[in-house]
Structure 1
């Protein structure tokens, strides 16, 4: 008997010491108001719809008086129906969970109350990670739950819980979740939306991505509310008839090419240094973005094997530089490589844009006759691919039909320095070598740089920066920290020179190398292909947009296959443009500017070789 007493006393002593030690390690319940979160950035499209979030998202706390009663009732009925009758620990739930755990020979159910879930949340923020399921963890949660129940009322516990609870994708609190999934404050949530938000709590990422499973859980929540007489069966049926659909960001996975670029290149450094919670209103048109991504996927699917192409990228902006869509490849991975902004690839014949714009800027008119044969300059003699030499042709034909002979003779006549200067004025960042091979595209550029440079033509000779931010707001006080303007900068070429270039480039699509692009409205552009078909480009503009596409393989030594007909870059450009129709007013403005009615004096270009 003495031995039994000794064992009992020893066990009680050890248990007491253990509980005291556990209690010492528990967080202060007053810290229920504090959360150690990283600053967040909320991204919205041009119409201020949520499109992406970075960091830990938490909006302002909502008081119990402001929360819909349906939300409280849905939470109690689904998560802890005895909440108002227990002291933080539900003995019945514990025995039920214990029976299931013993039967399964592992922990499969916790029997946690809302108070214990709040305790778990506090412990998580104390340690920074979720501990593995164990009986020690459950004891800590239970002890902290008892402390919470002694300190706060039931209504306060519910309020703290809903304002802290995690909803996946680094989103915290019921209000942030409601904005994320339904685009509005939780104050205005419907019965269905309340049931939906509560249904997400158990496994937010899983349920948010599986509508069928989520619907089953929502039905259970509403059914429980009927059983517990929070709502009538008729109210349940009405709620199910008025379903709201989740505004879930996985539908916009390609948007992260754009938002990553914003974070890395567009936010002023002094704003980043503030480490404040930010809301960024962007220039993106989310419908156009989705159309762009679908176009890229469809084009890739049809041509991957045929052309041996891994990736296609696309950028579209308005004529003043506001980016409307950006796709950096076929599939986005976190922090992934953006082929629209980061890939420096050989420009090929797309660089001829700079040669001919420089020629026009130097007073060589489009009708000037140029020998179309390829010259031999200091032992370098390029060839005319797919062009049958015929003697002297108007200078413009060299761009329309991408004739190497005319292009090289123009570059030699103007001087390669002048062409390189123009390319740098238009902010091509590559260290362009000073030799004539540059005129045929031996230098490199990103798609972003080419789109920006080509924009000087529809912008009537004025250069501008491509941008993606309309406004940056400090979410702490709603102060506008930054607001962009659409002002163009320097007049790089005369307005008449830009008009002449646009008229020529329209003919590239109507009868030249881009004739496979057939639209119901005017358009202009220039194709390009690099050596051994490692890159295909098409960069151009319509009455409402600047559009650029590129396709190729990340391994530069891996060429694509050549096939008859338009390459994937041209197809993607065409298919994207087909569903981004300009207005009649935009078409009229285009036709008024790009009038082909100027008379030129015909002469010969001085023949150097």
Structure 2
């Protein structure tokens, strides 16, 4: 055939075309046969899975968080507005409905312009199906030759996809996998991020903005380059008009609209219940590990799991509001109380310790820097944003300035749960997850102070000690305990007073608590705590009565629940159910309630009445007087030595709450008991929260619930004078300023 071509130039051109065509065919064949890497089979394409973000829901069906490597929330075709589909087809693949994966007309146009006319702006000629293939199987190598190989691979995969899926399926596979920048994949996540609405609610001009981004996710990002984004949007609108999806008049009208974003960047530290979400994440990681051991491959970042939790989102938001409201005021009072003598200003020994225990100091020390070099680096000023209750602000500060700034912050842990099941309703792990990652509910062990006393009194009742037994409030020095002498704060006349157990608990009298412990026996008290679900090792010392044991909030909450649950403790739990992306149940978690009672029904009722007295007339009485709360409440305040830990435990018929307030650095406490006592530092968080719950009628079933009336037997056991004063002659011969001395009966043998 070539012999018949007389013109040498034409002959050379023909030969060149044959060689090029043959080379292309050979390359396509080699790609098809897998010479340059295995192509996905039809089976793989029919059941492929793309990474899906796992979603976390509250008990009231509110999406409160996501776990993902790539932020992606797949949706169905019916959930995408028609205008978005039309915008996509108009600008990306106008013959989408006419081809079978490869648009040869567009491909030849691009080839002609790029190769013969050297027009580098001619585009790539890729169809939506080819772009989908690229999304599903990203290119691994760069370079012109590898680019050509990748293009052929994508064409073959696109053809296979078209043979297996409908056009609607391909559109959704594409829209659910395509990147919109900002670590966001899929149209639903992009819609939520840029416009704070579901994709199905997008207006036409908003759809055009998102579709326009697909050309260049950074170059047309409306947050970063709004002018470019609007220009690209207008081009999309014009393409829609050219393809008869909208009229020219409508396109021109929409082009005049200003860009209006409602950007919501998903920051793991922000949003509702960040500490709770982090604890759920940790528990889910353990769960997936257990599943892998069973041969089931679940991943919280890629499997699209739906995690349904026990949290009440509305309660949580109100709890966070109450916490912020109180802690802002308390922080201000705390700093003012110290003034210029504050330990974070004056205590050089403490400051040096904080610096040397910091991450930057240890890093530079390990790198071999001298002490002077380290301190020079840590004193170097730079612009940084420092958290403050009034407002976060940019300041010129050093690493040391930052360390000392955060050293002075009071923190908190507050947990509420259903006492019948242990289902967690609210979880405040701290004041600010972004700056204080440490969770004061699940991670922190702090001395519980007087919050432990009810367990002591419960053990006493179980041992047969009558609640009307009187104990002297006189201070005692225990010689066999190196002269240890617990004291009370307040009444100077207390040496002459004898308290009933109810009055002593409601007024939180330390000297009496120790004497109740002594009479009951330390081993009996420890055993009682264990029956109530306390697993922490407790010190077998008299100071146990004053709460020197360090216990986690969630552990203490499980024990206190027994007073509201017929003597049975619970294990607080956060996750109710886990499903796959199609809402098929994978696992349901049941409440963990103790099988056996920790104490008798009568003991539980007596303890509840004693803790009611704490709220009505004892150390927690300000919940009535200051906050005007009339709900049925029992409770216990707690304050530890040197005012380092403040506690309040609130028991209501259907809700249990435990709140702790203090500083992360154990060496710093409140400057005074009046400021740092549980009733002042911790109680207000609960009181303000309950006020908010009372104001919302939807919580009436909880807030208006009543305790059952105590039986006549219980009331008879408590029917005694709260306090008895020493007689005249006993007072005459007693020196109230002189401590009584004796040995503490350790009770190492059970009685």
The aligned residue for residue 605 of structure 2 is 499
State yes or no: 1:275 paired with 2:304: no
Specify which of 637, 650, 664 is matched with residue 554 of structure 1. 664
The answer to whether the Cα contact below 8 Å between 2:570 and 2:594 also exists between their aligned partners in 1 is yes
Cα distance in 1, alignment partners of residues 48 and 231 from structure 2:
29
Cα distance in 1, alignment partners of residues 39 and 592 from structure 2:
52
State yes or no: 1:514 paired with 2:659: no
Cα distance in 2, alignment partners of residues 430 and 444 from structure 1:
8
The aligned residue for residue 570 of structure 1 is 683
Q: What secondary structure is seen at the aligned counterpart in 1 of 2:564?
A: coil
* TM-score normalised by length of structure 2: 0.63
Q: What secondary structure is seen at the aligned counterpart in 2 of 1:392?
A: strand
Tell me: CA distance 1:558–1:487, structure 2 relative to 1, closer, same or farther (3 Å): closer
Cα distance in 2, alignment partners of residues 88 and 35 from structure 1:
31
TM-aligned CA deviation for residue 59 of structure 1: 7.0
TM-aligned CA deviation for residue 430 of structure 1: 2.0
TM-aligned CA deviation for residue 234 of structure 1: 7.4
State yes or no: 1:459 paired with 2:565: yes
Cα distance in 2, alignment partners of residues 215 and 291 from structure 1:
39
Cα distance in 2, alignment partners of residues 263 and 528 from structure 1:
31
| Residues 93-114 of structure 1: CA deviation (Å, up to 9, x unaligned) | 999xx9999xxxxxxx999875
The answer to whether the Cα contact below 8 Å between 2:430 and 2:436 also exists between their aligned partners in 1 is no
The aligned residue for residue 641 of structure 2 is 531
Specify which of 467, 476, 498 is matched with residue 375 of structure 1. 476
State yes or no: 1:598 paired with 2:708: no
| Residues 360-415 of structure 1: CA deviation (Å, up to 9, x unaligned) | 33333433321011222223211213343142122222221211111111011101
The aligned residue for residue 530 of structure 2 is 424
TM-aligned CA deviation for residue 528 of structure 1: 1.8
TM-aligned CA deviation for residue 598 of structure 1: 0.9
The answer to whether the Cα contact below 8 Å between 2:191 and 2:202 also exists between their aligned partners in 1 is no
Range moving further from structure 2, 526-535 or 256-265:
256-265
| Residues 544-595 of structure 1: CA deviation (Å, up to 9, x unaligned) | 3211112223332333443745543222222222212385555665243458
TM-aligned CA deviation for residue 438 of structure 1: 0.9
The aligned residue for residue 5 of structure 1 is none
The aligned residue for residue 63 of structure 2 is 50
Cα distance in 1, alignment partners of residues 528 and 231 from structure 2:
62
Q: What secondary structure is seen at the aligned counterpart in 1 of 2:559?
A: helix
Tell me: CA distance 1:303–1:432, structure 2 relative to 1, closer, same or farther (3 Å): same
Specify which of 221, 243, 259 is matched with residue 277 of structure 2. 259
The aligned residue for residue 39 of structure 2 is 28
Q: CA RMSD in A?
A: 5.1
Cα distance in 2, alignment partners of residues 312 and 148 from structure 1:
56
Q: What secondary structure is seen at the aligned counterpart in 1 of 2:693?
A: coil
| Residues 34-76 of structure 1: CA deviation (Å, up to 9, x unaligned) | 767568643221133322233467677856x986533311324
The aligned residue for residue 105 of structure 1 is none
TM-aligned CA deviation for residue 453 of structure 1: 1.4
The aligned residue for residue 460 of structure 2 is 359
The answer to whether the Cα contact below 8 Å between 2:51 and 2:72 also exists between their aligned partners in 1 is no
Cα distance in 1, alignment partners of residues 109 and 315 from structure 2:
52
Unpaired stretches in structure 1, ≥5 consecutive residues = 1-8, 102-108
| Residues 488-535 of structure 1: CA deviation (Å, up to 9, x unaligned) | 642212222222222222222233222332324232222222232322
The answer to whether the Cα contact below 8 Å between 2:467 and 2:502 also exists between their aligned partners in 1 is yes
The aligned residue for residue 88 of structure 2 is 75
TM-aligned CA deviation for residue 89 of structure 1: 8.8
Specify which of 465, 470, 473 is matched with residue 579 of structure 2. 473
Q: What secondary structure is seen at the aligned counterpart in 2 of 1:370?
A: strand
Paired residues in the alignment total 575
| Residues 133-177 of structure 1: CA deviation (Å, up to 9, x unaligned) | 998997776565555666665947645422422467987545787
Cα distance in 1, alignment partners of residues 112 and 543 from structure 2:
82
Higher-Rg structure is: 2
1:97-496 to 2 correspondences below 5 Å: 114=128, 117-118=131-132, 120-122=134-136, 124=138, 127=140, 155=167, 158-166=171-179, 173-174=186-187, 198=211, 223=237, 227-228=241-242, 229-231=244-246, 250=267, 253-265=271-283, 270-271=290-291, 273=293, 274-276=296-298, 277=303, 278-307=305-334, 308-320=408-420, 321-333=422-434, 336-377=437-478, 378=480, 379-388=483-492, 389=494, 390-475=496-581, 478-485=584-591, 489-496=595-602
Tell me: CA distance 1:539–1:271, structure 2 relative to 1, closer, same or farther (3 Å): farther
Tell me: CA distance 1:402–1:305, structure 2 relative to 1, closer, same or farther (3 Å): same
* TM-score normalised by length of structure 1: 0.76
